[in-house]
Amino acid sequence: MSDTDFRIEGHAGRITLNRPEALNALTHQQILDIEKHLIAWRDDPAVQLILIDGAGDRAFCAGGDIQKLYDSGRAGDYDYGRQFWADEYRLNALIWNYPKPYVAIMHGFVMGGGVGVSALGSHRVVTDGTQVAMPECAIGLIPDVGGSMLLGCAPGRLGEYLGLTGARMGPADAIHATFADSYVPTEHIEALKMALCVKGPDVIDAFAQTPEQGPLQQAQPQIDEHFGGEYAMDIIRSLEHKNGEWEQATLKMLRRNAPFSIACAVEAIHRARNLNRLEDALKLEYRFTARCMEHGEFLEGVRAAVIDKDRNPQWAVARLEELAQISVSQMLSPLGADELKL
């Protein structure tokens, strides 16, 4: 069986990500294949909705397949990465603007690129064990695949908190943060899929229940207090000034991630909060990813987390205190003729 299983069942065009051994991480070819099928099904009267899920119990999709990105970048080939991200973002925009219901079953790990092919859809279903996160700052990236806008739409300053720390959201917190719409218990998920193929997305309400409140929703006042600063260092200083147990734990999460990425992520989320079109957020994110191998910390972040797995990245900028803010502006500045085209 291929890495992605496409078929029509009832009224649904079904997409199943089928790399469970890799937590269904998205390859470049999968991105192109999904785009091709979505375009074909968009005008097919036999397909009334899209239903996307992932094979296996552990993950819907834990992100993009970054091994080839790393290998090509280490070899000095930055064009492959730019093409990968450009194609991925084009798919993200297609999903966001899709004229038919797009239902995502977000089970297990839903991270990075997995968020882009689920949380940008019209109907997002979480279940028991769902863990949604944007952990890009840990590997020298920033939240992308439209994540800057999703984070900007989260209540209060929850977007900054999630984007900078990479904190995981269970089902209730994913709904609270507006990354998902409905919670359906695991034992009803297969019945929901069958009903969707026959009756369409309106059946979700009949299956949906109210999950128990999550920890991030409870921590919203503290998040809003500390994550409202204009720059990343404002957030660090606020946390250090109060320095309670929650603040110390949050600082530890922040300090693990790439300082340069954190500073750029704050700026990107702030800008995206004022944008009206996902396409503009994707173009902003692409300015960073197009430069991240040559001028950022991506290769070192992937080495430490995925290749050598020593969890000890040697960031070029070791602490936020050492970062010149002008470098953030340069990383997010227009690319001229190389701007993302959607």
Domain limits of the chain? Answer: 1-342
Confidence of residue 241 (pLDDT cuts 50, 70, 90): very high
**Does the structure show a pLDDT above 70 at 75?**
yes
**How far is residue 39's CA from residue 31's CA, in Å, rounded to a whole number?**
12
In 137-186, the DSSP E strands lie at 182-183
Q: Can you tell me the mean pLDDT for 69-88?
A: 96
In this structure, how many other beta carbons lie within 10 angstroms of the beta carbon of residue 159?
28
Tokens 């603040």 belong to residue: 247
When pLDDT is averaged across residues 131-151 and rounded to a whole number, the result is 98
pLDDT digits (tens, 9 = 90+) for 4-49: 999 999 999 999 999 999 999 999 999 999 999 999 999 999 999 9
In this structure, what are the phi and psi dihedrals at residue 58, rounded to the nearest 5 degrees? -90, -30
The gap from C-alpha 266 to its chain's centroid, in whole angstroms, comes to 15
Q: For residue 210, give the DSSP letter.
A: P
113 is catalytic: yes
3-class secondary-structure state, position 275: coil
Q: Tell me the mean pLDDT in the region 183-199.
A: 98
What pLDDT, on a 0 to 100 scale, did the predictor assign at position 6? 98
Answer whether CATH 3.90.226.10 is correct for domain 1-342.
Answer: yes
Nearest to 68 by CA among 77, 60, 59, 57: 77
Residues 3, 144, 181, 285: which is the catalytic one? 144
Considering the candidates 88, 136, 173, 285, report the single residue annotated as catalytic: 136
Q: How far apart are CA 195 and CA 176, in angstroms?
A: 26
Mean pLDDT score of the chain: 97
Q: Residue 84's closest CA among 42, 48, 35, 49?
A: 35
pLDDT tens for each residue of 209-229:
999 999 999 999 999 999 999
What value does the mean pLDDT take over residues 307-333?
A: 94
Is 339 in the active site?
Answer: no
Sorting pLDDT into bands at 50, 70 and 90, what band is 1?
Answer: low
Look at residue 248 and tell me whether its pLDDT is greater than 70: yes
Q: Would residue 136 show up in a list of annotated catalytic residues for this protein?
A: yes
Token pair, residue 293, equals: 């191998």
Note the Cα 37 to chain centre separation in Å.
22
From the list 73, 108, 113, 159, the catalytic residue is 113
Q: Is 172 exposed, middle or buried (0-12, 13-18, 19+ CB in 10 A)?
A: buried
Largest pairwise CA distance in the chain: 60
Question: What is the crossing angle of helices 278-289 and 79-96, to 10°?
Answer: 170
Please check the confidence at residue 243 and state whether its pLDDT lies above 90: no
Q: Among residues 63, 64, 170, 296, which one is catalytic? A: 64
Q: What is the pTM of this model?
A: 0.96
Cα separation, 225 vs 221, whole angstroms: 6
Could you report how far apart the first and last alpha carbons of the chain are, in Å?
A: 31
Residue with tokens 């660090």: 236
> 13 with 99: CB under 8 angstroms?
no
* Percent of residues, the chain, with pLDDT higher than 70: 100
Q: What is the pLDDT of residue 126?
A: 98
CA distance 250 to 64: 26
Higher pLDDT, 65 or 334: 334
Residues 6+ apart with CB under 8 A from 158: 151, 176, 177, 216, 220, 223, 224, 227
DSSP state of 297: S
